[in-house]
Chain A
């Protein structure tokens, strides 16, 4: 079947969306942008293709998401089994790569010991892997680097201690290997992995009987043809896309927001390094836009920095800030100054939650200034980007919108991080139809 791909190469993450000919989302995929947009692009695309398979399974079962318990139980098991397959495959790649690093003078006397230790580490990692993908198990991140990395470091420490081997040696081979593994394009066919995952599900007894097996196989046999691809986002300039395959992220965000909420007139997107205020018309066509200039103060990275400064996870900031009833007044949105401001206020005895709430408010104040420069807020207003997932930021935004513009419908889609990629995919679909907008035909 024909598919249309939109890829949004952000500064932090790369997102992909796959559309079918009827403008329906088949799949979404996300990965960390790493230092290699080429790979990030491929990984995100593949992730979207995997997600698309699940949509196709559901379509074959004739069930919408969550309507048929048996189907959902099965698909849940299949997804976990598939992720496990993927994880183990990359783990094996990591082991091979680590072993290749055990050469040279540094390892001259300890090579054998290090190799044995590596074998033991990866044996343990493989052994514990199924539990990481068991029903109900939570993972800190969905990116291989994060999951494998934190477990490797813990296990390697134990193994090194038991074998009286230098931990730094094990750390050294890992450091040299992880980037190579991460940047290696995903290997092997997806179908093979799906088949292995199906076998695994069957062996665990969560499989389906013969009658239900058929739709799965039918769905797996559908070929997903990449009919047209459009790239957007900051990384687009570093990717060797030809011009007709590139759209600006402004246009993609405008169109994506319009597709999610057709009544959208104003879009706010707060991403890792930029904040965009976009005005669109009734067809999702951009009428005006403003972005932060020369300085990324008050963008998503600001929160990342604050999280690091406070030794917290990024996702923990919002909930803590929500506990504040008296947000501190913070004017600076300079990321570098924020650290100093934070320490200063902590030293003065202010509450962490109040300071955090103040920092969230500062971001939104800056966003409000950008929106007002782009022409203000018209009903409906759609908020997208990573920061839209942060409840404290959303709370401040709602307050300020109400104060400045009165009653306005505010839309926040749980998949808002994919807005740019969604718009890109729709541009791809239109381009394949011969409707070329935003670029000279």
Chain B
């Protein structure tokens, strides 16, 4: 029996240059939000899936994203007390923990990740995209802030396709309801050419984002498309889509990725560059944020890299060809909302994940099922079976939560992941050696 008892001393978290840059961008945005009162900028609260940043910018509004605030609270280990605060206020244990973290944060003074108070929104813009909870969440926010609330209804892609009717329906809402209300709140007249310009910039950054995400087809993959992917999608899923900053960031990131491909390097993890790529996975579902680094470590320590994830498509699905189109400004906004991952039907999700496993030559599919997210979790076991059947690759299922630390059981998750990696390994060697019992 070999005894290994040494434990590596704790060291500084390693980040690559793009991550540092991304953090600076996010910090700058939070400062802008915190200073909104002084600078006189008005604030629109909206959600990541279906966020119409280009449109919001047309009215000089600053984009504030409650889920991202909840994620930041989770990463900073504050969400636990916020969730409990919300439960004290009467919200059930089973409610989405993004919502409860947000509600709890407001109850405790609405202090953002930079330690400064977040501004009250001047308008709530809900582009309903597949998550029913979003609607209830904004109901609560409307009650709290008593401000203008705009509801852009996005038809669910139940039949797996976007029809002209759907687009027409959404464009009509944009023209007759959303834009007039935004004009009214902001006092800024809508200028469609300004929108076109932003959309042009969006498309440019989107091209680079797709290049970056698809770079994971390389072996080894230069990126982790789930844990690393969260950093990568941050700017474009939030307040930066349509800006020069986003163009610069994704160009910078693309160059960084190119350098890693040329050098044959894997992704950069908090403990430094990943040593060896042993397992390539596709992951379905959001990550856990309260133990984000610990969770990630369970993967990279075992040599597992995520080559594609559905979560990096919740704020827009670009890898099947969609780009914001300046020539069809309102229609393109509609198509964008319709296409986000949460608005896709179960068969579409199955197709997408199957496609990822095949195209990225993954070893299998891992589902991280979120305790408090029914819109993601419903049907996930069926998805798993179907993808397994179609790809012939093993799948596994773990359960954690978004930002409620009570639902992250490290020992159990690790146990399951280890079992899964060993199962992949066993199947691989079984296949290559024609194992007999």
Contact = CB atoms under 8 A, between A and B. Distances in A.
B53 to A, nearest CB: 37
A116 interface: no
A326 B433 CA distance: 53
A258 B422 contact: no
Given A288-B388, A291-B416, A293-B412, A438 B3 contact: no
Interface string B305-342: 00000000000000000000000000000000000000
B273 interface: no
B205 to A, nearest CB: 38
B3 A437 contact: no
Interface stretch (A242-250, A311-319, A350-358): A242-250
B326 to A, nearest CB: 47
B1 A245 contact: yes
Interface stretch (B118-126, B213-221, B394-402): B394-402
A439 interface: yes
Contacts of B358: none
B397 A290 contact: yes
Given A229-B1, A242-B3, A440-B303, A285 B426 contact: yes
Contacts of A290: 397
B427 interface: yes
Secondary structure type dominating chain B contacts: helix
Contact of A294 (B412, B427, B433): B412
B262 interface: no
A245 B2 CA distance: 8
Interface of B: 1-5, 278, 303, 381, 385, 388, 394-397, 399, 407, 409, 411-412, 414-416, 418-419, 422-423, 425-427, 429-430, 433, 435-437
Given A248-B418, A293-B412, A294-B409, A240 B429 contact: no
A436 B416 CA distance: 20
Given A240-B4, A437-B430, A375 B425 contact: no
Interface in A275-334: 281, 283-291, 293-294
Given A242-B2, A293-B412, A294-B407, A439 B395 contact: no
A237 interface: yes
B395 A241 contact: no
Interface of A: 229, 234, 237, 240-245, 247-251, 258-259, 262, 281, 283-291, 293-294, 373, 375, 435-440
A314 to B, nearest CB: 25
Contacts, number: 92
B435 A440 contact: no
6 contacts: A243-B4, A289-B423, A436-B429, A437-B435, A439-B425, A440-B278
B419 A283 contact: no
A90 to B, nearest CB: 24
Contacts of B435: 283, 285, 435, 437
Contacts of A244: 2
Contacts of A245: 1-2
B4 A294 contact: no
A243 B1 CA distance: 11
Contacts of A259: 437
Contact of B4 (A234, A242, A293): A242
Contacts of B426: 251, 285-286, 437-438
A289 B419 contact: yes
A398 B409 CA distance: 33
Contact of B422 (A240, A283, A439): A439
B415 A248 contact: yes
